[in-house]
């Protein structure tokens, strides 16, 4: 029984040491998040804005073309309908 208790004590000591390592890693990553990663975030935000802007411009162009085609096609259909009535 005393042998089993010794194993438990060793296990708990190992677990405690592992938690210390996890805390050190957490502090390292926290420092990285608040420190130098702003430029990466800014770069990502700029990239997203550029892509969004290009997408909006492309969609606007497509909508303009579709509108022009619709107007032309409507005029064509209307002229054919009028010629059938005459």
Write down the pLDDT at residue 70.
92
DSSP 37: T
Cα 77 from Cα 71, distance rounded (Å): 10
Domain that holds residue 55: 38-86
What CA–CA distances, in Å, run from 67 to 18, 29, 55?
A: 65, 52, 18
* Residues of the chain predicted below pLDDT 50: 1-2
pLDDT value, residue 15: 61
The pTM score is 0.44
Q: SS3 for 35?
A: coil
d(CA 67, CA 63): 6
**Does residue 15 sit in the same domain as residue 42?**
no
- Residue 6 CA to residue 12 CA, distance in Å, equals 10
The count of domains in the chain is 2
Tell me: do 51 and 72 sit in the same domain: yes
């Amino acid at each position: 029984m005393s042998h089993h208790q010794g194993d438990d004590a060793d296990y708990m000591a190992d677990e405690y040491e592992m938690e210390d390592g996890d805390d050190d890693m957490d502090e390292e990553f926290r420092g990285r998040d608040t420190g130098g990663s702003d430029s990466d975030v800014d770069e990502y935000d700029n990239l997203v804005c550029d892509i969004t802007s290009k997408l909006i411009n492309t969609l606007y162009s497509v909508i303009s073309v579709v509108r022009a085609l619709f107007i032309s096609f409507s005029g064509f259909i209307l002229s054919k309908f009028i010629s059938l009535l005459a």
